[in-house]
Chain A
């Protein structure tokens, strides 16, 4: 069974899942945007994000944060979180625009990192390229392209990643979509996790939401 998830829903759900898995709102927003961006090109952004976030849940968030003073960047816990690290790279996009190439050590789900950095490429109307194993992912203002071995795209863990600005050449861009088809079981899981940040109804909340006067006249 499959379920059609709109891009707006993809972003909204995965932002909530990220929050439910312990990320702060500002980083959770990055997770929602990255999942949406991948889904817009028919890539499994929601599914991959879900898997990664579940792995984060209950763990010490700080152990996934990059130490940016070393090269390559490393996480104290051994594996860099692609969302936190992608946001840190996006925050350094001025350096990338000046030609700096960032090198990362062991990283989880680098596709998620490429999409997170990609948000900054869109703002700068440039191309940020992320490369790992045998594959390179370029994010443009309005597109995304993949070069190399697509089998490496969804690797859950790689030893090294590099990220840099590239020229504004437009290789084959992936076609975009407006609704993403997701497996119903995976969506059910996403929905359940998102639900964890909702507040159950109480007599007080029900009373507060409605009218003090009749609403049926």
Chain B
């Protein structure tokens, strides 16, 4: 991010950046929407710009829909292949929970084009997911289940020559739902270092999201294949316009939440890029009519999307109601206020801050970035992080300096009374059953002695109280030798000087903390839509809805 700040082409934006204490709150982060900086959109922009090619290199699927397939994208320097296996899964084994052991389909993103021997090796391992082992030729490992609601309906319709019912299709939004997408050295897959120097996949989650984009294509091909096998000449394929409405689902639980807390420098860079983009747009003194027009088009699309966004969860139902009302208020503002003069976008946002819910405010942010790709898209280059640099502790810093950072940047942590049971009622741990992070009830469940270091606010306050007993002069190095138990937290605190958006400024062990807020923030950066919480710690989303399919975006490879 440092480079991005140094090369800032819009110095005026500085005055429009929202400070960390406004942005880094769970309630706001849990109201984020995808933007044009989101990782899925970055990926597709690159594939198009660099004129990537596409080919389905293997389709060995039987009439029942079981077998294997390979989808390859060809870049200027390298190729990547999604290897997919479709399985016969009894209904009673189909579960999105991480404790599942079998799935309708399993996938890996292969580095290059797999040989027959590679495919045989992968077929022995990929279907087992966590219980199998892939190699450093693979960049991801994932699985998906069919949407029971939609799968049969679509096959039955297509096989008799009818298009599926649009309402049913849009209510679900996907044919297959991924339940985990692993990358970066997990389960034997290639370490992140393998791809760190490859511009096409070095950005956050680009390899994983490439695999998901190709998984979406696989899900459509599979459903059309089965319909054709069943209906023969009568069968039709999905109407292209309707097909675009089919994304790929994802079901995400707690395992993903600690990622943002465990990668503070990365979180900072994501947030700073997003905030800088928004500040640049707000700093514009005027808006050109073409930009206003584009904004209005995206606004109408957002209204439509919200009308299609359903949830049964009480929290999200309320949020959607508020968002719907926000959009109506925005429509009225758009109709009555000038959108071209007198810093129009800043005025609009300041009005929104006073008038709209957090859902509406963050929706407006996303919409305002849309007309300004030339101004903001370059910021996607600042969204990865050299995390090694943030590992360094400045041992020479006097204790007074460490204390000063806490007192100036961590008031959010100091003002909480962690002695109150409701302020420490949760603890984060790794589950022995699935080797995944979970959040437990400290006063009900066993295992708090194995707590993960994710109670950041509480830890900062404890560090501060110990620091108060020290004179100003000793160094951090001396302090940490006496108090190694604060090393993890001291590292984070020192980082705040360089990474001001690195910490979530809320109590992550409070009784009323909602893990879905963390999930939504992360997933919005991915580019997800239609957040549908299934509980306070479990959310379903849709990815790539309305995005082009590989053959639409990319020319065919020879």
- The chain A residue with its CB closest to the CB of B448 is A199
Name B93's closest neighbour in chain A (CB-CB): A216
Instruction: Given A88-B477, A209-B97, A209-B438, decide whether A26 and B486 contact each other with a Cβ distance below 8 A.
Output: yes
- Cα of A94 to Cα of B395 in the assembled complex, Å: 8
A-chain residues with CB within 8 Å of residue B313 when the two chains form the complex: 213
Which chain A residue lies CB-closest to B92?
A216
Q: Are B192 and A208 in contact (CB under 8 A)?
A: no
B432 near A201 with CB under 8 A, answer yes
Which of B297-305, B488-496, B521-529 is the interface stretch?
A: B488-496
Q: Is B423 an interface residue (CB 8 A)?
A: no
Say whether B440 faces chain A, with CB atoms less than 8 Å apart. Answer: yes
Is the beta-carbon distance between A7 and B191 smaller than 8 angstroms?
Answer: yes
- Please, which residues of chain A bring their CB within 8 A of the CB of B148? 216-217
- Find A204's partner among B440, B453, B535 (CB 8 Å cutoff): B440
A209 touches B477 (CB 8 A): no
Please report the C-alpha to C-alpha distance between residue A84 and residue B481 in the assembled complex, in whole angstroms.
Answer: 8
B91 shortest CB reach to chain A, Å: 8
| B431 interface neighbour in A7, A24, A68, A198, Cβ under 8 Å | A198
Chain A residues lying within 8 Å of B537, measured Cβ to Cβ, are 208-209
B190 CB contacts on chain A under 8 angstroms: 6, 178
Query: Inside 8 A of B478's CB, which chain A residues have their CB?
Result: 68
Interface size class of A (residues with CB under 8 A): 35 or more
Q: Is the CB of A206 within 8 A of B99?
A: yes
Q: Given A199-B429, A209-B98, do A91 and B484 touch, yes or no (CB 8 Å)?
A: no
B253 close to A123 (CB less than 8 A): no
A212 and B430 contact, Cβ closer than 8 Å, known pairs A6-B185, A33-B391, A68-B481: no
Are B96 and A211 in contact, CB atoms less than 8 angstroms apart?
yes
- Contact in complex: A199, B251 (CB < 8 Å): no
Please determine whether A216 and B191 come into contact, CB atoms closer than 8 angstroms. Answer: no
How far in angstroms is the closest Cβ of chain B from A174?
Answer: 15
Q: Is B388 an interface residue (CB 8 A)?
A: yes
B374 close to chain A: CB less than 8 A: no
Taking the closest CB of chain A, its distance from the CB of B188, in whole angstroms, is 6
Given the complex, which residues of B lie within 8 Å of A27, measured CB to CB? 484, 487
Selected from A4, A198, A215, the residue in CB contact (under 8 A) with B135 is A4
Give chain A nearest CB distance to B447 CB in angstroms: 3
Total contacting residues, chain B, CB less than 8 A: 73
Shortest CB distance B510–A (Å)? 16
Chain A residues within an 8 Å CB radius of B194: 178
Which residue of chain B lies nearest to A33 when distances are taken between CB atoms in the complex? B391
B394 vs chain A, min Cβ distance (A): 8
CA gap between A33 and B389 in the complex, in Å = 13
Inter-subunit contact A6/B136 (CB<8 Å): yes
Residues of A close to B439: CB separation below 8 A: 208
For the complex, give the distance between the alpha carbons of A164 and B515 in Å. Answer: 46
| Partner of A198 from B98, B429, B475 at Cβ < 8 Å | B429
Shortest Cβ distance from residue A192 to the other chain B in the assembled complex, whole angstroms: 12
Find the B residue at minimum CB distance from A3.
Answer: B133
Which residue of chain A has the shortest Cβ distance to B539 in the bound complex? A211
* CB-based nearest A residue for B254: A209
A126 within 8 A of B: no
User: Once the chains bind, are B191 and A215 in contact (CB under 8 Å)?
Assistant: no
Q: From B427, which residue of chain A is reached at the shortest CB distance? A: A199
Is residue A149 within 8 Å, beta carbon to beta carbon, of the partner chain? no
Per-residue CB contact flags for chain A residues 155-181 toward chain B (1 = under 8 Å, else 0) read 000000000000000000000001100
Interface residues of A in 43-100 (CB under 8 A from B): 61, 65-66, 68, 84, 87-88, 90-95
* A93/B395 in contact, CB under 8 A: yes
Q: How far is the CB of B479 from chain A (nearest CB, A)?
A: 9
Per-residue CB proximity of B147-191 to A under 8 Å, as 1/0?
111000000000000000000000000000000000011101111
A30 — which chain B residues lie within 8 A by C-beta?
487
- Nearest 10 pairs of A and B residues by beta carbon: A26-B487, A91-B395, A8-B185, A199-B447, A211-B534, A91-B477, A26-B488, A198-B432, A6-B185, A201-B433
**Residues of chain B at the chain A interface (Cβ within 8 Å):** 91, 94-99, 133, 135-136, 145, 147-149, 184-186, 188-194, 251, 253-254, 312-313, 388-389, 391-396, 429-436, 438-441, 444-447, 450, 453, 475-478, 480-481, 484-491, 534-535, 537-538
Q: Tell me the A residues contacting B by CB distance below 8 Å.
A: 4, 6-9, 23-27, 29-30, 33, 40, 61, 65-66, 68, 84, 87-88, 90-95, 119-120, 122-123, 178-179, 195, 197-202, 204-206, 208-213, 215-217
5 residue pairs bridging A and B, Cβ less than 8 Å apart: A7-B185, A26-B484, A94-B395, A197-B430, A204-B444
